[in-house]
Structure 1
Amino acid sequence: MIDFTIDLFWRARLAGTARSADPLVAGWSFPSAGLPGFKEAPLSPSDLGASDAALNSGVILVSAPGAVGKSTLARQIAFETGAVYVDLAKSEPVGGNSITGGLAKAALFPSWTADSVALLIDGLDEARIRVTQEAFEAFLGDVAELAKGRKMPVVLFGRTGAVQDAWLILAEKGQDPAILEVGYYDLETSVEFAVAALQAKRPEKQVSVTEREALQLILGRLREQTKGDGDRFAGYAPVLQAVADHVNAEKNPAVLVARLESGEQPVTLLTVANAILERERGKLDTLAFENASVREQLYSPSEQLGHLASRLYGCPAPALPALTPKDEQTYADALNTWVAEHPFLKSLHSASSVVFEAMIATHALKNPAIADQVVARELARGAAANPFLAEFYVLDPAESVFLPPDHVGIVYASLRARLALGDSASLLVEDADGGEGPSLRAEVEITFAPKGYERSRALKFETDYSSPLKLGSYIEDIEIAASEANVEIGQGKEAILVAPVSIQCEGLIISADRLIVEPSRTGQQVVFLEAATFVGADSASMPTVRSGASLAASWPGVRSYPWTAFASDPSPVDDQRIVEGLRRFRKFVIAFRSHSKGELARYQGKIESGRMTKGSGQRILDHLVSCKILELVGPMYILYPDELGAVAGATYADCVRRVYNPKTIDFVKAALGIM
Structure 2
Amino acid sequence: MSSRAALRDLVDSLPRNAIGGLVEQSIDSSFFAHPVAPASYVWPDVIVDDDKHASPVLLVTAPGAMGKSVAARATAHRLGSPLVDLAKVAIGGDGLTGLLTRVLGWTQAPQFVTSLQRGTASLVLDSLDEAHLAAGRAHFLAFMKNVVELVGQGSSNSQVVIFGRRDTMESAYLALAEYGVEAQQVSISPLAYGQTCELIDLVLDDIVHQGRSYDLHRQHSVPFGQHRDAVLLDMARALGSDAQTVQLAWESVGGFLGYPPVVRVLGRHLVIDNPAALNSSTAPRTSGSTRGGLLREVVEEILDRESAKVRDQLRPALGLEPSDPRLGVLYSREEQIVRLLQRSRGGGREIALPGSLSPDENAIYQDQIENFLPDHPFLRGSGFENVVFSDYVLAYETLADTVQVHGTTNSAPNATSVGPFFAHFVHAMSATSRVDGDEVAVLREACIDAVLKSYSAGCIDPSNFVYSDNPDQTRLFLGEGVDHPTGPSDVLKFTISERSGVVELTSPLGRGLVITRGSVVISGVADEIQLGPDLSVFAEDIQFVGKRIGVSSAMGSTIGDSSDNDGRVTLIARGSVDSDPEMKLSVYPATALAIFWSNPSYQWLGHVLKLAPGSISGLPPAAAWQLMFGLRRLLTSFQASATADPSAFSEFVDRIIVGSNPVFHVALEGLVELGIVSREGALYRLRLARLSDYGVNYAALRGPDFENTLEGLYSDMMKTDSLQEFARDESGNE
TM range (shorter): 0.5 to 0.7
- Aligned partner of 2:654 among 597, 609, 615: 609
1:361 partnered with 2:394: yes
2:652, 2:300 → 1: CA distance? 40
1:661, 1:257 → 2: CA distance? 51
Matched with 1:553 is: 595
1:446 partnered with 2:482: no
State the one-letter code of the partner of 2:392.
M
1:517 partnered with 2:551: yes
Any conservation in 1 of the 2:510–2:534 contact (CA below 8 Å)? yes
Q: How far off its partner does 1:304 sit?
A: 0.8
| CA shift in 2, pair 1:480/1:301, >3 Å | same
1:207, 1:616 → 2: CA distance? 53
Equivalence map 1:145-294=2 (5 Å): 203=186, 214-216=199-201, 230-235=231-236, 241-242=255-256, 244-247=258-261, 268-281=294-307, 282-287=309-314, 288-289=317-318, 293-294=325-326
Q: How far off its partner does 1:336 sit?
A: 2.1
Any conservation in 1 of the 2:190–2:260 contact (CA below 8 Å)? no
2:503, 2:4 → 1: CA distance? 42
Any conservation in 2 of the 1:468–1:488 contact (CA below 8 Å)? no
| CA shift in 2, pair 1:672/1:608, >3 Å | farther
- Aligned partner of 1:312 among 334, 339, 344: 344
- Aligned partner of 2:717 among 656, 664, 668: 668
SS at 2:459 equivalent? coil
For the pair shown, the structure with the greater C-alpha radius of gyration is 2
Q: How far off its partner does 1:617 sit?
A: 3.2
Matched with 2:445 is: 405
1:351, 1:470 → 2: CA distance? 29
How many pairs does the alignment contain? 455
Equivalence map 1:12-411=2 (5 Å): 203=186, 214-216=199-201, 230-235=231-236, 241-242=255-256, 244-247=258-261, 268-281=294-307, 282-287=309-314, 288-289=317-318, 293-313=325-345, 315-322=348-355, 323-348=357-382, 350-366=383-399, 375-376=413-414, 379-380=415-416, 386-396=419-429, 401-411=441-451
1:495, 1:608 → 2: CA distance? 31
SS at 2:511 equivalent? strand
1:673, 1:296 → 2: CA distance? 60
1:501 partnered with 2:535: yes
Any conservation in 2 of the 1:581–1:668 contact (CA below 8 Å)? no
State the one-letter code of the partner of 1:527.
V
Equivalence map 1:640-651=2 (5 Å): 646=695
1:638, 1:218 → 2: CA distance? 50
1:623 partnered with 2:674: yes
1:145-192 per-residue CA deviation (whole Å, 9 max, x = no partner) reads: xxxxxxxxxxxxxxxxxxxxxxxxxxxxxxxxxxxxxxxxxxxxxxxx
Matched with 1:67 is: none
Any conservation in 1 of the 2:549–2:586 contact (CA below 8 Å)? yes
SS at 2:531 equivalent? strand
SS at 2:674 equivalent? helix
Any conservation in 2 of the 1:589–1:655 contact (CA below 8 Å)? no
2:297, 2:722 → 1: CA distance? 57
Name stretches of at least 5 consecutive residues in structure 1 with no aligned partner: 1-31, 38-197, 433-438
- Aligned partner of 1:483 among 517, 533, 547: 517
SS at 1:407 equivalent? helix
| CA shift in 2, pair 1:561/1:229, >3 Å | farther
Q: How far off its partner does 1:483 sit?
A: 0.8
2:717, 2:526 → 1: CA distance? 43
Q: How far off its partner does 1:462 sit?
A: 0.8
Any conservation in 2 of the 1:494–1:515 contact (CA below 8 Å)? yes
Q: How far off its partner does 1:428 sit?
A: 0.9
Q: How far off its partner does 1:337 sit?
A: 2.5
Any conservation in 2 of the 1:495–1:514 contact (CA below 8 Å)? yes
Matched with 1:169 is: none
TM-score w.r.t. length of structure 2: 0.50
Name stretches of at least 5 consecutive residues in structure 2 with no aligned partner: 7-164, 170-184, 208-216, 218-223, 240-249, 274-291, 434-440, 556-563, 725-734
1:431 partnered with 2:469: yes
TM-score w.r.t. length of structure 1: 0.54
State the one-letter code of the partner of 2:311.
L
SS at 1:403 equivalent? strand
Q: How far off its partner does 1:307 sit?
A: 1.6
Any conservation in 2 of the 1:495–1:512 contact (CA below 8 Å)? yes
1:596-618 per-residue CA deviation (whole Å, 9 max, x = no partner) reads: 79999772426863848854633
1:32-74 per-residue CA deviation (whole Å, 9 max, x = no partner) reads: 666789xxxxxxxxxxxxxxxxxxxxxxxxxxxxxxxxxxxxx
| CA shift in 2, pair 1:374/1:393, >3 Å | same
SS at 1:502 equivalent? strand
Q: Tell me how large the CA RMSD over aligned residues is.
A: 5.5
- Aligned partner of 2:571 among 526, 529, 549: 529
State the one-letter code of the partner of 2:416.
A
Any conservation in 2 of the 1:648–1:667 contact (CA below 8 Å)? no
2:354, 2:296 → 1: CA distance? 27
